[in-house]
Amino acid sequence: MNCRWQMQRRKIFYRWLRIDFIYDPKKVSMLSKVLEERIYSLSILLVVVVVTASFIFPATFPTFENFSQILLNLSIDTIVAVGMMMLLISGVFDLSVGSIVAFAGCLTAYLMHFYQLPVPIAVSIGLLASLIIGWINGYLIAYQGINPMIQTLAMMGIVRGCALLVSGSGIQNLPYWFNAIGQSKLLNIQMPVWYMLITIAVFTFLCTKTIFFRRYYYIGGNEKAADLSGIRVKRMKMIAFIFSAGLAGVAGILLSSRLGAALPTMGRGLELRVITAVILGGASLSGGIGKIPGALLGAVFMGLIANIMVISRISGYWQEIILGLILIITLWADKALQKRYVST
């Protein structure tokens, strides 16, 4: 009764605004569908942002070079965001990913530069080290019950310290074939963009088509129920941390390769950027929801806003404030619209 009265009241309001077509039942259901899924609403928002920016900066924004640059700049963050999305779906997160990015890159560079190890062996050891860090995180959190925030915060410091120990002030002059991993181009687009797209495609397939990965939604939705239904929650959580750290390791090696140098300061603040992108892409800190392409869309949204601010010469003082405000407004508007239309 109350609901009907509310609908009637809205109908009158929208008629007064002369936008009563919103209450066409078919359109309401379409709108509900779009708003129900963050990836759809975010996609629409992205199109709006791109079109608007193209009109405002016609000479500099809508160019192939600029778009490929945006994608290149967000490729490293997105690869890490895929792992973070998996963790958030299962209801946990990892603050040490930024440090793992630095450590994997520095260790790989160290082995190539000081021990002259061949590129594939050094890269494999760098990746293996990342996986071991992920395993330690996962084991202590899942099996020993340490709080994920405390564990990964401590690991963040340890791993950053190791990166500093290994690389000192950074390692330059890396082998040509290592640099080629991140600096080569395919169809005039730099390789990290392709690696990012492959990562997204593979993990989207895994999370939608395989029973193993779909279990993370059950774990994030209700951990106890998942446990009672026979899912090995602890093992699954540990594996999620290993995947996340592995992807951070891939990102770190790619970043070093792209820069042609390994810096111990790489990935500083990356964890928060990635968590923000993933939440924006539809995940929740309480777990159970989120889709892998959402990680890409969240990162693209942040990358686009950052690019537009650079093109419009907004000073660094304002960039973080504006980005923060846009994120809050976007999430708030999304929630408000969902409440209004999805529930009716």
Partner 1 sequence: MRSVLFITAFIVVFSCELPPKHATQQNTYSRATDTITQIINEEYVMITTAVTMPMYVNHDQAAFKKWGEKMGVKVSILGPAEWDVPAQINTIEEVIGTKPTGLLINGTDPAIAQVINKAVAAGIPTVVYDSDVPNCNRHAFLGTDWYQIGKMQGEEMVKLINGNGKIAYMGILGLTNMEAGFQGMLDVFKKYPNIEIVGKYDDKANVEEAAKITADVLSAHPDLAGLCGFDSNSGPGMALAVKEAGKAGRVKITTVDWEPEHLALVKEGTIQLLVGQKRELFTWYGAQFLYDMVHKTNALSNNDRQAGITNIPQTINTGLLRITKENIEQFIKHQ
Please give the residue ranges that form the binding site for partner 1 (CB under 8 A): 60, 63, 65-66, 69-70, 72-73, 76, 163-164, 167-170, 172, 176, 179-180, 183-188, 255, 259-261, 263-266, 268-269, 307, 310-311, 313, 315-317, 319-320
CB nearer to partner 1: give 39 or 80. Answer: 80
CB nearer to partner 1: give 246 or 303. Answer: 303
CB nearer to partner 1: give 27 or 185. Answer: 185
Task: Say if CB 46 and CB 74 are below 8 A apart.
Answer: no
Q: How far is the CB of 48 from partner 1 (least distance, A)?
A: 21
If one counts every other C-beta atom within 10 angstroms of the C-beta of residue 139, the result is 17
Report the alpha-carbon distance of residue 254 to residue 174 in Å, rounded.
13
Task: Say if CB 90 and CB 236 are below 8 A apart.
Answer: yes
CB nearer to partner 1: give 38 or 273. Answer: 273
Q: How far is the CB of 191 from partner 1 (least distance, A)?
A: 9
Task: Say if CB 130 and CB 100 are below 8 A apart.
Answer: yes
Q: How far is the CB of 28 from partner 1 (least distance, A)?
A: 41
Chain mean position to CA 144: 27
Q: How far is the CB of 309 from partner 1 (least distance, A)?
A: 9
Name 9's Cβ contacts closer than 8 Å, sequence gap at least 6: none
Report the alpha-carbon distance of residue 140 to residue 135 in Å, rounded.
8
Tokens of 143: 């099996």
Tokens of 40: 């759809």
Backbone angle region of 57, left / alpha / beta, with phi > 0 → left and psi within -120 to 50 → alpha: beta
Q: How far is the CB of 234 from partner 1 (least distance, A)?
A: 35
Q: How far is the CB of 128 from partner 1 (least distance, A)?
A: 23
CB nearer to partner 1: give 215 or 258. Answer: 258
Q: How far is the CB of 129 from partner 1 (least distance, A)?
A: 18
Nearest to 77 by CA among 270, 240, 208: 270
CB nearer to partner 1: give 86 or 163. Answer: 163
CB nearer to partner 1: give 69 or 284. Answer: 69
Beta-bridged to residue 171, according to DSSP, are: 262
If one counts every other C-beta atom within 10 angstroms of the C-beta of residue 100, the result is 36
